[in-house]
Amino acid sequence: MLIGGVPALDRHYSAVEGSWKVTDCSTAYGRLVVPHGNSEEPLYRWFHLKEAFSSRLLGQLLRDVGVSPRTNLSIADPFAGSGTTLLSGISACEINGYRANVFGVERNPFIWELSQAKLQARISGRSISDTFAADFEKIKKFHDDLKFDNFTVPGLSTLGNENYFPSDHMQDLLRIRYAIDAGASEATRSIFRVCLASCVESSSRLRRDGRALRYEASREPKPPWDSFVQRVAVTQGDLELTPPASSCGEVVLGDARRAASLATGREFDLILFSPPYPNNIDYTEIYKTEAWVLGCYGSDAEMKAQRQRTVRSHPSVRFSQEFAYLNSGFASAVQALIDPVISSVPVGDRYHEGRKEVIIGYADDMLSVLIECRRMISENGRLVFVVGNSLHGSGDGKYVIAADVIMGRLAELCGWRVAEVKVARMLKRRTGESPFLRESLVVLEPA
């Protein structure tokens, strides 16, 4: 069975990747491109970011791509997410007696605070565990004393919906937030806020599922304070287990498309990242309840502005129609790369414009990121990105966006060489479906 548009598009993708080394690495990497094992690992288990990769990915990559932790390493991740690259970079170096200098960029204010708290905890380790324990006693007292139960529920309608969040649970989540504000010190505040964030979903009848939050009427929401106390106990134990690091690093709240300016002239031995995939997942939406409970947005307009700042990987908002590539020397090469994908988008349905915009916007944004990264890489450095390709449309109008091929070609245009495409997973492939339905690690070297 042939799916409309797919065979011609497959030929296009095959021609683009023609000279690249493409290897089936599913045995080594299949479980490393997902957060496999993170829920048992100290620090990584503080919050389940389901789009994270495994804490073990970076160690395997260092062994495979010729960047050896036999010396101090500088490592960057322009899409830092929950901080996996930064934390595992430090561990990979320190286990061998060396140091890492890590640098991350993250655009979502809640996810940024998560990575920032984990990085700070990884560096300070057990040296802050006594402060954490003492601060918890203060938070507990403030929580007990704050009898007030009429906190203004943040403006997001989801939080005010009693089917989703019983109102006493919402009040308690807010009470915990105010108790943290009052009781935590500068060194521990973000860590306690992550403990609170990790109780939000379990306090509700909502479940994060794929691209959306789903309502489950039968689900029994857990009392927030009990969950918070449990999370604090796990965190306390993790801090005690973590030796202070001699490495250093930072993660900045900013835009990957400006990563080189944010890194202020630093060069990196390894850049490892996983961008949002062009598969309609909108991180602003998926992690909105945590962000609102923590007070990251004060109004709908602020959340909308945040969405606009993210890369153009989904059509849930009308993004800017400015495309930097059109004014660059690569305009015709980029057009030749994306035109066959655009032509595969079925005409005549109401999603047509949105779908086209994702393809063009995503290519434009990824080109900007790869140009920035090229400015940040050391002479013998390597860049590895992890990305999943996705099937869009339905019936005869199906087409694949092969993000790994598109990004690999964009990288070639801006001064990289594709050293290898390591295929980590084939994605739910059925007979006749595109061989490009896969998730890959693409290894780049400066050309």
Nearer to ligand SAM, 170 or 369 (CB): 369
Sign for the CA dihedral angle at 233, 236, 240, 245 comes to: positive
Residue whose C-beta lies closest to ligand SAM: 81
Count of residues interacting with ligand SAM (CB under 6 A): 22
Q: Would you state the structure tokens that stand for residue 68, as one six-digit string?
A: 């050896």
**For residue 318, what are the contacts with CB-CB under 8 A and spacing of at least 6?**
none
Residue from 10, 255, 290, 412 touching ligand SAM (CB under 6 A): that is 255
User: Any bridge partners for residue 101, and if so which?
Assistant: 74, 248
399-401/377-388 β-pairing: unpaired
**413 neighbors 330 (Cβ within 8 angstroms):** yes
Decide if residue 107 touches ligand SAM (CB under 6 A): yes
Contacts with ligand SAM, 229-248, as mask; x by CB under 6 A: --------------------
Which 156-215 residues touch ligand SAM, going by CB under 6 A?
none
Residue from 274, 280, 306, 440 touching ligand SAM (CB under 6 A): that is 274
Decide if residue 358 touches ligand SAM (CB under 6 A): no
Nearer to ligand SAM, 73 or 311 (CB): 311
Contacts with ligand SAM, 290-329, as mask; x by CB under 6 A: --------------------xx------------------
Nearer to ligand SAM, 84 or 247 (CB): 84
102-110, 333-341, 410-418, 439-447 -> range binding ligand SAM (CB under 6 A) = 102-110
Which 376-435 residues touch ligand SAM, going by CB under 6 A?
none
Helix-strand-coil percent breakdown of the chain, rounded to 5? 50, 15, 35
Residue 416: CB atoms within 10 Å:
23
51-59, 207-215, 228-236, 243-251 -> range binding ligand SAM (CB under 6 A) = 51-59
Give, as one character, the DSSP assignment of residue 345. S
Q: How far is the CB of 85 from ligand SAM (least distance, A)?
A: 6
User: Of 91, 97, 22, nearest to 62 (Cα)?
Assistant: 91
User: Of 47, 33, 124, nearest to 85 (Cα)?
Assistant: 33
Decide if residue 372 touches ligand SAM (CB under 6 A): no
Question: Element (H or E) spanning 21, and its range?
Answer: none
Decide if residue 45 touches ligand SAM (CB under 6 A): no
Nearer to ligand SAM, 140 or 208 (CB): 208
Contacts with ligand SAM, 54-93, as mask; x by CB under 6 A: -------------------------x-xx-x---------
Terminal Cα-to-Cα distance of the chain (whole angstroms): 40
The position carrying tokens 């089917």 is 163
Q: How far is the CB of 310 from ligand SAM (least distance, A)?
A: 4
**136 neighbors 236 (Cβ within 8 angstroms):** yes
Decide if residue 276 touches ligand SAM (CB under 6 A): yes
65-73, 234-242, 250-258, 315-323 -> range binding ligand SAM (CB under 6 A) = 250-258
Decide if residue 17 touches ligand SAM (CB under 6 A): no
Q: How far is the CB of 79 from ligand SAM (least distance, A)?
A: 4
**Edge-to-edge, what's the strand order for the sheet holding 438-446?**
22-24, 416-426, 438-446, 377-388, 268-273, 73-77, 100-106, 248-253
Q: Give the C-alpha separation, 369 to 259, whole Å.
A: 7
- DSSP code per residue over 182-207: HH--TTTHHHHHHHHHHHHGGGSSEE
Nearer to ligand SAM, 106 or 290 (CB): 106
**For residue 63, what are the contacts with CB-CB under 8 A and spacing of at least 6?**
none
**For residue 141, what are the contacts with CB-CB under 8 A and spacing of at least 6?**
183
Decide if residue 105 touches ligand SAM (CB under 6 A): yes
Nearer to ligand SAM, 105 or 271 (CB): 105
User: Of 343, 184, 347, 373, nearest to 275 (Cα)?
Assistant: 373
Q: How far is the CB of 315 from ligand SAM (least distance, A)?
A: 15
Catalog residues that contact ligand SAM under the rule CB under 6 A.
49, 51-53, 79, 81-82, 84, 105-108, 111, 255-257, 274-276, 283, 310-311
